A and B are shown apart, each in its own frame.
Chain A
Amino acid sequence: MDLSPFIAMVYRQVKRWWSARSRVITTIVNPLIWIIFLGLGWGAVFQPGSINSPSIPGIPVNVIAKTIEEYFNRLFGGVDYITFMVSGMAAMTVFMASFLGGISVIWDKQFGYLKETLVAPAPRWLVITGRIVGDSIVNTLQSLIIILLGFAITTRINPIGIPVALVYLFTTSIAFSSLGVIIALKLGSIEGFQMIVNLLTMPLMFMSGVFYPVNTMPDWMKVFAQFNPLSYSVHSVRYWLTGANVGLEYMNPTIDIAILAAAAITLLVVAGWAFNKATVED
C-alpha cells in the first residue's frame, strides 16, 4: 500500500494552516470568549463567598457560602466552574474547528482544487482520509493551545493528563471532521453548509455537557446527550484534564474512547464513500 497520497494531503492541510497563522487566532479567540465571559461570569455565581449570601438564623454566613460552593463543586465533579468550563472547552474547540474543515472542502470545490485531487491516480478514500487526519492534527494542536491557556485561568488542570486527553481530542476531531466533509460534499454552497452546521452545532454543543453537567439535564435531553459523540469527548477530556468525573453513570474513559472511535470510523467510512462519488459535475 502506497501511503504517499495520504501523506500528501496531511502535509497540505498542516502546511495551509501554518501559512495562514492569522486564522489560528480566530479559531482560538472564539473558545476564549466563551471561557472568559461565560466561564468567569457564571464562575462567580457558583462561588458565593464574596457576595452577601442569604442568612439563616443561627448559622454563620460564611458557613452557608461554603456549603453552597461545595454543593456546586460537587455538581461540577469536585472542581470549580471555570475549571469545568475550560476542560470542556478543549473538546468544543476541536468540535467547532472540525466543521471548518468542511468549509475548506467547499472552497476547494469553488477554487478548482478539488478537481486536482479527484483526477489523481490515488484511492479516493486514502486522499480524503489524509485530508481529515491533517485537519485533525491541526484541530488537536489548536485545542492544546486552549488547554495551555487554561493554565492561566485555573490551577486545577493536571499536566500529566494532557497527552491522554489529546488522543481523545484527535479521535473526536476525526469523527466531526468526517461529518463536516460529508455535509460539504453533499452541499455545494458555503451558505447552505453554514446553515446546516449552525443547526447542528448549537444543539450538539448544549447537549454535550460543555457548559453544564449531563447528569442534571432534563431526562429528554439526557437521551439526546447519550447519542451525541461530543458528550463522551467532553466527559473523557474533562476526566483526564481535571479528574472530574461528570457524566451519566455508565460513562468511563474506556467506554468513551470506544464510542468515539466507533463514531470516527463510521463517519470516516461514509466520508470516503461520499468522496468516491464526488464528480466535477456538482
Chain B
Amino acid sequence: MEAVIVENLVKRFKDVVAVNGVSFKIVRGEIFSLLGPNGAGKTTTIHIIATILKPTSGRVLVFGHDVVREADIVRKKIGIVFQDPSLDNQLTAYDNLYVHGRLYGLRGRELEERILELLEFVDLKEYANKQVRYFSGGMKRRLELARGLMSNPEMLVLDEPTIGLDPQSRAKIWDYIRELRRKYNVTILMTTHYMDEAEELADRIAIMDHGRIIAMGTADDLKNMLGSDVIYVKFDREVPEGICKVLPSLRDCRKIGVDTLELLVENATKSLPEVLSNIYVNGYRIVEVSYKRPTLNEVFLHLTGRELRDSLESNPLTQRRGRWR
C-alpha cells in the first residue's frame, strides 16, 4: 500500500505557480527524495503533504487520508522536520520534546520514556537539561529529528535535513536517518538540493524543477538515462546547426546552453578521437572538452540545460522567493 499518493497537485501563490501538476506515489517504508534547486517547489509540495498549506487543485492522500478534509488524522500520522530550525531556543532539549509530546497528546511515563529513548538515540541525553540556544547546528538538527519521531509517526517528512551543516555533521545526520528508518520502521519523505544526499539516502528520487517533476526513479535509473558516459564539447561560439548529423554513432546528441554540446556515448575514451576529428574536419573550433560518468548533476543538466549547482547560486530571484521552495 502507498504511504502517499499525490495526483496533479497545483499550488498557486497570487501570480506565481509554485507547484504545477505534480504526481507521484511513495511506497511504505521507502526513503523518497525530492531533488531540485531552490524555488523548484519542493518545500511547497511537502508543506501540502504535511497539511500546513492547502493545495490550489489536485489531490493528496497520506495513508489513505485526504490532507485537506482529514488534516487532523494526517497530522497524527506524520512527523516533520522543517527546513528552518523551529526549536524553542529558550527551552531545554528535554522541554522541547516534552511540549511537543504533549501537543501530540502523549503524557505521563510513556512521554517521559519516549523523550529519554529518543534523546539517547540522537546522542543528546547528556545535554537534556541544556537550553537549546547553546546547541550547535548539528545538535539542533538531531534534536529536531528526535522531536519529529516523538509521536511515533508512520512517516517522517524532512525538509533539507542537512542544510547549513558542516560535512561531518551531515554524514552523522545521514547515519541517523538510515538508522531511524531501520529502527522505527518509518517511511521517509525528504527534500534536498544536494545530489550526494539524495544518492546516499533515497531509494527513489524525483527531480523537480520549476514546479514540475521532470524525472523519477532510483539513482541508477536516472543515471542510466544517460548511458555510460557523457561528453561535453564547448565551442568558441554558438553550437553550430546540424553538428549532430556529422558526428559518428552516438546514443544522444543535444545542445545544452548556448555554446555547449552534450553527447551520450557507450565509451568516451574510444569515441572521443573520432568525435573531435569530425568536428575539426568540419572547420569548427573547440574551447573545452570534458567527459564524465554521469552523476545526478549530469542528469539534471541533461534535463534542464542548467547545472544544479549553478541554479542554486546564479539566480538570486528564486533565492529571495525562498518561501516557495
Contact = CB atoms under 8 A, between A and B. Distances in A.
Contacts of B57: none
A127 B100 CA distance: 12
A219 interface: no
B88 interface: yes
Interface string A1-40: 0101101110110011001100000000000000000000
Given A119-B75, A121-B105, A280-B53, 5 more contacts: A12-B99, A15-B95, A111-B86, A116-B103, A120-B75
Given A8-B99, A281-B13, A115 B131 contact: no
A219 to B, nearest CB: 47
A124 to B, nearest CB: 11
A122 B88 CA distance: 18
Nearest to A121: B75
A16 B90 contact: yes
A198 interface: no
B89 A111 contact: yes
Nearest to A118: B52
Contacts of B47: 280
Contacts, number: 84
Interface residues of B, number: 35
A7 B102 contact: yes
A228 interface: no
Nearest to A114: B86
A19 B107 CA distance: 23
A65 to B, nearest CB: 53
Contacts of A120: 75, 100, 103-104
Which 4 interchain pairs have the tightest Cβ spacing? A8-B102, A112-B86, A121-B75, A120-B103
B72 interface: yes
B53 A281 contact: yes
Contact of A121 (B98, B104, B107): B104
A117 interface: yes
B139 interface: no
A273 interface: no
Interface string A91-132: 000000000000000000001110111111110000100000
Contact of A115 (B52, B76, B103): B52
B106 interface: yes
Counting chain B CB atoms within 10 Å of each CB, the highest count among A112, A118, A121, A122 belongs to A121
A120 B102 CA distance: 10
Contacts of A8: 98-103
A28 B92 CA distance: 25
B53 A16 contact: no
Given A12-B95, A279-B53, A113 B102 contact: no
**Interface of A (DSSP majority class):** helix
Nearest to B90: A16
B50 A5 contact: no
A116 B98 contact: no
A119 B53 CA distance: 10
B98 A11 contact: yes
Interface of B: 13, 47, 50-54, 72-73, 75-76, 80, 82, 84-92, 95, 98-107, 131, 323
Contacts of B13: 281
A127 B75 CA distance: 15
B95 A115 contact: no
Interface of A: 2, 4-5, 7-9, 11-12, 15-16, 19-20, 111-113, 115-122, 127, 279-281
A191 to B, nearest CB: 20
Contact of B102 (A4, A20, A118, A279): A4
Contact of A4 (B73, B80, B90, B103): B103
Contacts of B50: 119
A70 B188 CA distance: 77
Given A112-B82, A121-B75, A11 B102 contact: yes
A4 B107 contact: yes
Contacts of B102: 4-5, 7-8, 11
A194 B103 CA distance: 30
Nearest to A120: B103
B91 to A, nearest CB: 6
B52 A280 contact: yes
Given A12-B91, A119-B52, A121-B72, A5 B103 contact: yes
Contacts of B101: 8
Contacts of A127: 103
Contact of B90 (A20, A112, A117): A20
A121 B71 CA distance: 8
A2 B105 contact: yes
Contacts of A19: 90-92, 131
A230 B232 CA distance: 74
A110 B198 CA distance: 29
A5 B151 CA distance: 13
A113 B86 contact: yes
Contacts of A112: 82, 84-86
B82 A122 contact: no
Contacts of B52: 115, 118-119, 279-280
Counting chain B CB atoms within 10 Å of each CB, the highest count among A4, A19, A119 belongs to A119
A148 B153 CA distance: 48
A279 B44 CA distance: 13
B40 to A, nearest CB: 18
B152 to A, nearest CB: 13
A118 B106 CA distance: 17
Nearest to B92: A19
A158 B82 CA distance: 52
